[in-house]
Structure 1
Amino acid sequence: MLTFRQEAAMDICAGRKRKLRGAARRCGRSAAGGVKRDAGRVLRSRTVEDNNHAEPMEEQEEQEEEDDCFSISFLRAGRPEPAVVVSPRYSLLREVGRGSYGVVYEAIARKTGARVAVKRLQCDAPENVELALAEFWALTSLENRHQNVVQLEECVLQRKGLAQKMSHGNKRSKQYLRLVETSLKGERILGYPEEPCYLWFVMEFCEGGDLNQYILSRRPDPHTNRSFMRQLTSAVAFLHKNNIVHRDLKPDNILISQKSGSPVLKVADFGLSKVCAGLNSKNSEEVPAVGGRGSNQNNIVNINKFWLSSACGSDFYMAPEVWEGHYTAKADIFALGIIIWAMIERITFIDAESKRELLGTYIRQGSEIVPVGEALLENPKMVLHIPQRARSSMSEGVKKLLQDMLAVNPQDRPDAFQLEVRMDQVTCAA
């Protein structure tokens, strides 16, 4: 369900104070007529319980594959952690992030000594389970790796102090089937006691923080901007070719790895993603391929024929059609346009909830700033002034590409494959 709460923060991008209706993440079913926001109010994420709440561990009632899990090498005052499992494979070093439904730790793999990121999600409510399974299904559906998509090493299901490695569609695991049923029914399953259950995602560790931290802590660098633009479009093209709509693209969910010496972007956080399964070229209209890669183009055409109806994402990156609850993968293209525009011109706002300075583009309406997508929904004929700054170094090619990415009509936006080709052209010409 979408809940409402009034928020206020200050816009600092131009050195002036402006009221801000904060950015929120959520995913819910759209009502008839779409999602609308009252003046002075903001869509908020669903509330969940504290993910650090620990329950007593008991013996497991059914025999499942037992696996080593995680040890806690630190304690938070007043926040008990799950009991330590014998012979843990990972040692948690420190907390590096906390969201509405999960906690992320930096950890060490004891066998190899490699640093990894471990996300712990407590599956104590149907909405938590739904988000956790969405991320699991998206990452496990990828048969190939991509350097700009965060890599999932393994997923572990923990219950009553025992752990079991998760595999997609494991019908022999009663715990996995319970999670799926909980997600599908949207309610706790009757007949089962409410027991502590956690999903642990072990992923590659990105030591460079997120895109906000990286960009805003450094001087403007056109070379870095061009590299990041190509990497982001490559990642989204890869996801769309694999029938995955991310639905929550924003700087917070773009991580930076510096293991190779130069920054490499990693698209992460697939909790709101949608795997559009069952698509094939026979189900969609044939269109001319661009750039000689016809098979890839067919996949992207198919995913753009798949309509979604859950109002998902974060306000400042949501496409106009997402606010109405009827959209396709082209919504990811719009979000990417907002991110790239803000990155190039360093347009920021202060998030009402976290008080952090975030990259994001918006429209000024009197004393308020409004997400671009919402403003376009209210006034489809509005012309976006790209670039915003008089002394911007943005090239004409990038300017035209951003205007196309942020088109009100999704059909006027390039698909992910077309975007990848055009981005290579405009960044090489810059």
Structure 2
Amino acid sequence: METSFKVGNYEVGEELGRGAFGQIHKAYSLGRDPVRICAAKRLSAELDYQMNEAVGELNTLENLPNHNHIAQLIGHEIVSTHPSCIWLFLEFCDGGTLGDYVFRNPQNVDTKRQLAVQLADAVAFLHKQRIVHRDLKPQNLMIKDRTEFPILKVVDFGLATVCTHLDRARVHDYFTGSVIGTPFFVAPEVQSGHDHNWTTAVDVFSMGLVIWAMFDNLNAAVNARDDPYLAPCVRGPSGYPEAIGHFLRRGETVDQDTVMSNHPKRRNLVLRMIDADYNGRPTADEVFNNLMVIEDESDQESYQLSETTPIVATSQNEGETNSCCKIPLTIFSILLYCLIQLLKPVVLVIITIPFMIALILQAVCALVTCFFCICCNYNDIECVTYILKFKMVPPAFECYKNICSRVVNF
């Protein structure tokens, strides 16, 4: 059983995992919810000026405006050990990583659409704050809730910059792939080792790979015994997975047919995001706006489909339709149509009877008037005037015609 220890005003408990830049623990503070802790080990004491630069960067990150999809950096503590280290205290997310969520819910496309929009919104916010994440991957994308509507939170933003102040060589080795493991989400210009090419476009590249992997449920694990790892990759000559960034840096191109074949509009956007030339990639804000347009179109298509298509139950096997639910619906439609056709003459007769009675009364009254005029020796003009008094009003006849026409065309 792990023992807890105190760091500043926090009690640090169980270890949740380890990353390239430090350990992750679960910690508690008085009167607060549990928060996620990221520890970055520092160099020896003779490099205190680098520690000061890192702390200055952390102060900037802690003063960022709150955002729904950015894990809040609550604070930090410096521990003067040998070597010294910094503890970062961040908002705790209880839903696990994005990779965990996707492998638990592989078919939940609607939620994936929402998560993609949330991710683009978060990255666009960071870029507007002049922060380049540089390490976007499913492990740094946490899920806040495990409910039907999960909330995505970007974590470890700015950590690469902080760690650069501490150990530049280690950060360089991590992103260029010199350390153990394959940086699946690193852009090709980063793997080339030229720091001046590390712009916001590196985050757009990583975000494109995350969206691709999420919608296609891509698993980079070598065999079934390995833990699932959400990442797009190609198989190298040795059979081991090769990062897309490294693949593109060798001058190769990604087969478009292998990218999100069931989502053509998102595929076109993702292909632009993972362009080998970072100048050809859209900005994070453009990605967010494009995703919003795609989601609006998808919602409209879903609404139109629900308006015109009968709901049909499906069996457990994908693509197999339960035809038992379609037959009764068809028979009911036919019976309803036949009933309407049979009732049309009856309705016409019911409508016609009042008008026919009125016409008969008009004719009787006209005959009586003529007889009265003849008996009283009225002239022709006076007789016509009396007869016209009993004429039906023309609008009533027009109303009768319109009603009959609608019944016939129903």
Question: Is the Cα–Cα contact under 8 Å of residues 244 and 273 in structure 1 kept in the other structure?
Answer: no
Distance between the aligned counterparts of 2:215 and 2:95, measured in 1?
19
Match of 2:189 in 1: 321
1:350 aligns with 2:221: yes
Q: Aligned to 1:349, what secondary structure does the other structure show?
A: coil
Alignment counterpart, residue 122 of structure 1, candidates 35, 41, 49? 41
Task: Indicate how the Cα distance of structure 1 residues 147 and 135 shifts in structure 2: closer, same or farther if over 3 A, else same.
Answer: farther
Distance between the aligned counterparts of 1:317 and 1:132, measured in 2?
30
User: C-alpha displacement at 1:123, in angstroms?
Assistant: 2.2
| Map 1:209-228 → 2, pairs under 5 A | 209-228=96-115
1:145 aligns with 2:66: yes
Q: Aligned to 1:247, what secondary structure does the other structure show?
A: coil
User: C-alpha displacement at 1:202, in angstroms?
Assistant: 1.5
| Map 1:281-360 → 2, pairs under 5 A | 313=175, 315-326=183-194, 327=197, 328-350=199-221, 355-360=226-231
Identity %: 29
Task: Indicate how the Cα distance of structure 1 residues 117 and 417 shifts in structure 2: closer, same or farther if over 3 A, else same.
Answer: same
Match of 2:26 in 1: 106
Match of 1:393 in 2: 262
1:252 aligns with 2:139: yes
Which amino acid counterpart does residue 414 of structure 1 have in structure 2? P
| Map 1:186-201 → 2, pairs under 5 A | 195=82, 197-201=84-88
1:370 aligns with 2:242: yes
Note the alpha carbon deviations across 1:162-186, whole angstroms, 9 max, x for none.
Answer: xxxxxxxxxxxxxxxxxxxxxxxxx
User: C-alpha displacement at 1:118, in angstroms?
Assistant: 2.4
Question: Is the Cα–Cα contact under 8 Å of residues 95 and 106 in structure 1 kept in the other structure?
Answer: yes
Q: Which runs of 5 or more structure 1 residues have no equivalent in the other structure?
A: 1-73, 161-194, 276-308
Question: Is the Cα–Cα contact under 8 Å of residues 137 and 206 in structure 2 kept in the other structure?
Answer: yes
Which amino acid counterpart does residue 107 of structure 1 have in structure 2? A
Task: Indicate how the Cα distance of structure 1 residues 239 and 115 shifts in structure 2: closer, same or farther if over 3 A, else same.
Answer: same
Question: Is the Cα–Cα contact under 8 Å of residues 138 and 270 in structure 1 kept in the other structure?
Answer: no
Which amino acid counterpart does residue 335 of structure 1 have in structure 2? S
Compute the TM-score of the two structures, normalised by the length of structure 1: 0.57
Which amino acid counterpart does residue 214 of structure 2 have in structure 1? M
Task: Indicate how the Cα distance of structure 1 residues 75 and 132 shifts in structure 2: closer, same or farther if over 3 A, else same.
Answer: farther
Match of 1:422 in 2: 290
**Which structure is higher in strand share?**
1
Distance between the aligned counterparts of 1:138 and 1:397, measured in 2?
39
Q: Which runs of 5 or more structure 2 residues have no equivalent in the other structure?
A: 163-170, 176-181, 299-410
Instruction: Kindly indicate whether structure 1 or structure 2 has the higher relative contact order, using CA contacts under 8 Å at least 6 residues apart.
Output: 1
Larger radius of gyration: 2
Note the alpha carbon deviations across 1:89-112, whole angstroms, 9 max, x for none.
Answer: 3333422122344222222221x1
Task: Indicate how the Cα distance of structure 1 residues 273 and 333 shifts in structure 2: closer, same or farther if over 3 A, else same.
Answer: same
User: C-alpha displacement at 1:204, in angstroms?
Assistant: 0.9
Distance between the aligned counterparts of 1:424 and 1:134, measured in 2?
36
Question: What count of residue pairs does the alignment treat as equivalent?
Answer: 277
Task: Indicate how the Cα distance of structure 1 residues 259 and 368 shifts in structure 2: closer, same or farther if over 3 A, else same.
Answer: closer
Q: Aligned to 1:201, what secondary structure does the other structure show?
A: strand
| Map 1:202-213 → 2, pairs under 5 A | 202-213=89-100
Which amino acid counterpart does residue 66 of structure 2 have in structure 1? R
Q: RMSD in angstroms over aligned alpha carbons?
A: 3.4
Task: Indicate how the Cα distance of structure 1 residues 98 and 312 shifts in structure 2: closer, same or farther if over 3 A, else same.
Answer: closer
Which amino acid counterpart does residue 108 of structure 1 have in structure 2? Y
Note the alpha carbon deviations across 1:108-158, whole angstroms, 9 max, x for none.
Answer: 221x142212233332459x9979965972673453111111111111123
Question: Is the Cα–Cα contact under 8 Å of residues 247 and 312 in structure 1 kept in the other structure?
Answer: no
User: C-alpha displacement at 1:260, in angstroms?
Assistant: 8.1
Question: Is the Cα–Cα contact under 8 Å of residues 361 and 371 in structure 1 kept in the other structure?
Answer: yes
Match of 2:79 in 1: 158
User: C-alpha displacement at 1:364, in angstroms?
Assistant: 3.1
Which amino acid counterpart does residue 404 of structure 1 have in structure 2? R
Q: Aligned to 1:227, what secondary structure does the other structure show?
A: helix
**Which structure is higher in helix share?**
2
